[in-house]
Amino acid sequence: MTRHNLLLLLILSFTITCFRTYSSVIVPVPIDSVDYNRIENKKVRKLISRQKYFGVRTFDEIHPVCYNTLDSGDYRTFRKSQLIHQNINVVWNNLTRQALSDEFDGRIVTLGLLYSKRQNNIQYKNEPNIGIEEGQILFFNLRVLNGIKNLAVALEVTRMDNAEKTIEYCYVEHGDTRGTQKFSLNPTPEGFTEITQYTRYKCNSKLRDRRLYSFFHERIVREFFKTIKIKSECGKAALAENLEIIQ
């Protein structure tokens, strides 16, 4: 083989390698790719468009704004617990592995859109998903005052610890609230589970911060706890888990 042919072969090999590397690069999902016709809630559509207004071009450019200890005095606290008469593993599975469109489908909270950083894709309501995982950004519609008013909120799953049975969500940029929501499960001496929701939050509006947030957040958490409690104590997942324990 001549030096000329060897040089051509090396160039061709380098070109193919570069092409394969380039083709394997994950292309971030652009905000413009959202099909707004598949999102029934106007406020959720508006919140997604707001990201674009502030210069966010792709979903991976959306960042969380978690509770900040440097200005902790500006944050307010919410805490609520619920006893569930079921094994902690059953409750954890119901909390993390259920279809999110079912888990967040109550009178107050409904899922509008989900973006997965790990899978780099968006999922609309009622599309199959794998449950909760770190890196998901969830867009919700909140139906308050019996539907007279609707609000949109987006949260990112920033931590999920299977060993400690803990999930943390942070609000995302360009929303009306910043802070962190934490769900934690703890076993009781009787073999049951106590689920606790602990939130540190700060709103842009003082009225929303001092009066509205805690009022509606308490009802949202109460509805969510009720859903998890019913599924864990009476659902098929609980029955299946009990059968595995017996076997």
Residue 68 lies in a domain: yes
**Containing domain of residue 179, as a range?**
31-246
Query: Which pLDDT value is given to residue 18?
Result: 47
Domain count, the chain: 1
pLDDT at position 240, please? 47
Q: Do the beta carbons of residue 52 and residue 173 sit within 8 Å?
A: no
**Residue 111 contacts residue 136 (beta carbons within 8 Å):** no
**Strand 193-203 relative to strand 177-187, pairing:** antiparallel
Residue 133 in domain: yes
Q: What is the pLDDT of residue 208?
A: 54
In a domain, 26, yes or no: no
In a domain, 118, yes or no: yes
DSSP 155: E
Contact 80, 197 (CB under 8 A): yes
| Per-10-residue mean pLDDT, the chain, length 247 | 53 50 68 94 93 94 93 89 96 86 74 92 83 93 79 94 97 92 97 97 69 78 90 67 41
Q: What CATH number is given to the structural domain containing 124?
A: 3.30.530.20
pLDDT at 26: 77
Q: What's the whole-model pTM score?
A: 0.81
Q: How, if at all, do strands 136-144 and 109-116 pair?
A: antiparallel
With contact defined as beta carbons under 8 Å apart, do 144 and 216 qualify? Answer: yes
Q: Please report the pLDDT score of residue 126 as a whole number.
A: 79
The three-point CA angle 38-44-48 to 5° equals 95
The reported pLDDT for the residue numbered 21 is 42
pLDDT of 198: 96
In a domain, 48, yes or no: yes
> Does 238 fall in a domain?
yes
Tell me if 4 is assigned to some domain: no
Is residue 61, in this structure, part of any structural domain at all? Answer: yes
Cα–Cα distance, 152 to 113 (Å, whole number): 11
